[in-house]
C-alpha cells in the first residue's frame, strides 16, 4: 500500500520528444520501487520479501486481475453498437499474438534458453499467459521464471514503448481508431499507455479511443485465452521440440 501510495503521488509523467508524447504510468514506478525495496539485504524488507510471502503472492495474484476485467466491460459499454459493427476486425487482431512464438521462440532457443523460453514466448507474458503457466508449471519453475521475467520487463518497458509507438503510427498515417484497436494486446499498462498517448493527440475523440482500446483488450483477455490454448500452445510445443531435437540432438517432450 505504501508503494502504491508513492506511485500515485508521482502520477503519470508525460513528456514530449519532437512530435511524440511519452507517458510513464504510476504502475511503472510501483514496479521499480518494489524491485528496489526487495534488494535491501536485511531488516524489515528482507522479512517482507520472504520466500513464503513471495510464493503466496505469485499463487494468488491472478485474483487481483478480476476487477480489471470488470473495468474493461464498463469502458466498452458506451460504444458497444459501434464496436459490434466492426467486430470481425477485432477477431483478426488476435492472430498477432502468435508473433512471440513464431519470432521470439526460435531466437530464445538459439541463444541457449530452454524451459524458460516456454514461459517467456507463449505471449507477452501478461495475465492470460501468467495464469496458464502458473497452473501448468507453477511460478517457481523455469517456465514460471520465464513468464515472470517477461511480465516485469513488459510492465517497466512495454508501457514506454507503446506510448512512443502509438503516436508514431499516427504520424505514419494510420487512423486513430485503428491504432486504438491495436493497443489492446493483453497488457493493461501497454494499452493504457498507448490510449493515453492517443487521447493527448486527439482529445475530442477520447471516449472512442478508450472504448476501442478496452474492447480489443477485453477480447484479447477472453478470446485470446482460447487461441493461446488451442493454437499457441500446440504451435509452441511443435517448434520447441523440433528445434531442441536439432540443437541438443534429442527432443524434450516433458518441458512443452
Report pLDDT for 238. Answer: 94
At 5, list the grid cell. Answer: 501510495
Report pLDDT for 24. Answer: 75
Per-residue pLDDT tens listing for the chain (256 residues): 889 999 899 988 877 777 666 777 787 788 888 888 888 877 788 888 888 887 787 667 667 767 766 766 666 666 666 666 666 666 677 777 788 899 999 999 999 899 999 999 998 877 778 878 888 888 888 998 999 888 888 877 887 788 788 888 888 889 999 898 888 887 777 888 888 888 878 889 888 898 888 888 877 776 777 788 888 999 999 999 999 988 877 544 444 4
Report pLDDT for 88. Answer: 67
Instruction: Give every CB contact of residue 136 below 8 A, 6+ residues apart in sequence.
Output: 143
Instruction: Give every CB contact of residue 12 below 8 A, 6+ residues apart in sequence.
Output: 23, 24, 25, 26, 196
pTM of the model: 0.69
Report pLDDT for 254. Answer: 47
Helix axes 206-227, 188-201, angle to 10 degrees: 160
Amino acid at each position: 500500500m505504501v508503494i502504491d501510495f508513492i506511485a500515485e503521488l508521482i502520477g503519470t509523467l508525460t513528456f514530449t520528444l519532437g512530435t511524440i508524447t511519452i507517458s510513464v504510468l504510476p504502475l511503472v514506478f510501483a514496479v521499480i520501487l518494489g524491485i528496489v525495496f526487495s534488494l535491501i539485504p536485511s531488516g524489515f524488507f528482507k522479512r517482507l520479501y520472504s520466500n513464503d510471502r513471495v510464493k503466496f503472492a505469485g499463487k494468488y495474484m491472478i485474483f487481483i486481475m478480476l476487477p480489471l476485467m470488470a473495468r474493461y466491460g464498463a469502458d466498452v459499454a458506451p460504444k458497444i453498437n459501434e464496436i459490434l459493427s466492426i467486430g470481425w476486425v477485432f477477431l483478426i487482431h488476435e492472430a498477432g499474438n502468435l508473433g512471440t512464438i513464431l519470432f521470439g521462440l526460435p531466437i530464445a532457443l538459439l541463444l541457449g534458453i530452454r524451459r524458460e523460453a516456454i514461459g517467456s514466448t507463449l505471449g507477452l507474458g501478461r495475465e492470460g499467459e501468467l495464469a496458464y503457466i502458473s497452473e501448468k508449471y507453477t511460478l517457481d519453475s523455469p517456465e514460471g521464471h520465464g513468464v515472470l521475467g517477461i511480465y516485469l520487463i513488459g510492465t517497466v518497458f512495454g508501457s514506454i514503448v507503446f506510448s512512443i509507438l502509438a503516436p508514431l503510427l499516427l504520424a505514419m498515417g494510420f487512423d486513430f481508431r485503428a491504432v486504438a484497436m491495436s493497443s489492446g494486446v493483453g497488457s493493461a499498462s501497454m494499452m493504457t499507455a498507448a490510449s493515453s498517448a492517443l487521447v493527448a493527440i486527439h482529445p475530442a475523440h477520447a471516449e472512442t479511443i478508450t472504448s476501442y482500446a478496452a474492447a480489443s483488450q477485453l477480447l484479447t483477455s477472453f478470446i485470446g485465452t482460447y487461441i493461446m490454448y488451442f493454437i499457441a500452445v500446440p504451435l509452441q510445443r511443435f517448434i520447441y521440440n523440433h528445434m531442441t531435437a536439432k540443437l541438443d540432438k534429442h527432443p524434450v517432450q516433458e518441458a512443452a
